[in-house]
Amino acid sequence: MDTILNGKVAVVTGGSKGIGRAISGRLAELGASVVVNYASGLKEAGETVREIEDGGGIAIAVQADMCRAHDVAALFERTDNTFGRLDILVNNAGMLLNQTIYDLTEEDFDAIVALNIKGVFFCCREAAHRMVDGGRIINISSTVTRMLLPTYGLYAATKGAVDQLTRVLAKELGSRRITVNSLSPGPVDTELFRRGKSEEQIQGMAAMAALGRIGTPADIADAVSLLVREESSWISGQNIGANGGMA
Ligand SMILES: NC(=O)c1ccc[n+]([C@@H]2O[C@H](COP(=O)([O-])OP(=O)(O)OC[C@H]3O[C@@H](n4cnc5c(N)ncnc54)[C@H](OP(=O)(O)O)[C@@H]3O)[C@@H](O)[C@H]2O)c1
């Protein structure tokens, strides 16, 4: 096993399912102790931790709602109390609402902004306070910011905000050798992506990628595993597509 992250501590928000679960597993394989955050899926979070432990890794599951700044602070406090340091933050928790701008409600707006922007902002702020020099922050954005697809307007707006936050935070933390990048998956085969889509729509999206398929959570974990390496220390303030050449 490649143990480049031995002794390091990673927080993965929304680490219990889908892309976050694959990222948690990969960081643990690389030797990091992983804090697997979740909101309500205790069972899935427990499974994620067990998988990591069965593979010889170290992980804990921590319930905290990333829409609430108080919960965000508690997540990082628990990380500190358990492991005593923070080296890597992956801001992965996010939600998607496929709806035209015409039909979106104020409640929809508040819900998605609370998780996709407010949650990412307060996690970044905690990391700015707590992360060791030379750390890594990876914010999960989306390729929809480049695709201009109908029904993705509000979601794309939140991910555009994530990209901007990433660029500014990279400048603010550069003197501590902390790199901050956003990673934009294309369509990835998870519960979030499949909800409300027909198989025909899914195959239509697969055809938009140069590589002709939908991504897997492991594809995104692979991209994260590149950004946490020492060899990536000169890459900061960037938005990187992990989308099979979709856009
Ligand atoms: N799948 C795609 O095609 C795709 C494409 C581009 C970008 N992305 C982005 O990738 C990220 C992960 O997406 P996914 O497809 O893996 O989603 P998913 O399968 O729906 O998993 C979402 C994860 O986030 C957690 N979560 C949800 N609300 C939360 C909250 N308020 N506080 C803390 N955790 C919360 C969930 O835990 P609980 O079950 O406990 O709520 C779960 O672990 C998102 O930021 C998404 O926008 C996805």
- Ligand 1 atom closest to the Cα of residue 159 is 47
- Ligand 1 atom closest to the Cα of residue 19 is 16
pLDDT at residue 1, as a whole number: 59
pLDDT at residue 25, as a whole number: 98
The finding on whether 13 has its CB within 6 A of some atom of ligand 1 is yes
The full set of domains in the chain, from first to last, is 9-187+217-232 (3.40.50.720)
Cα gap 63→83, rounded to integer Å: 17
Residue 18 alpha carbon to ligand 1 centre in Å: 7
The finding on whether 91 has its CB within 6 A of some atom of ligand 1 is no
Residues 6+ apart with CB under 8 A from 239: 141, 145, 163, 166, 167, 181, 182, 183, 184
CB-based burial of residue 148 (10 Å sphere; 0-12 exposed, 13-18 middle, 19+ buried)?
exposed
Residue 14 alpha carbon to ligand 1 centre in Å: 6
Task: State the catalytic residues.
Answer: 155
10-residue block means of pLDDT along the chain (247 residues)? 92 98 98 98 98 98 98 98 98 97 98 98 98 98 96 98 98 98 98 94 96 98 98 98 98
Instruction: Express each pLDDT in 164-181 by its tens digit.
Output: 999 999 999 999 999 999
The finding on whether 152 has its CB within 6 A of some atom of ligand 1 is no
The finding on whether 39 has its CB within 6 A of some atom of ligand 1 is yes
Token pair, residue 128, equals: 């700015």
- Ligand 1 atom closest to the Cα of residue 214 is 3
Could you tell me the pTM of the whole model?
Answer: 0.98
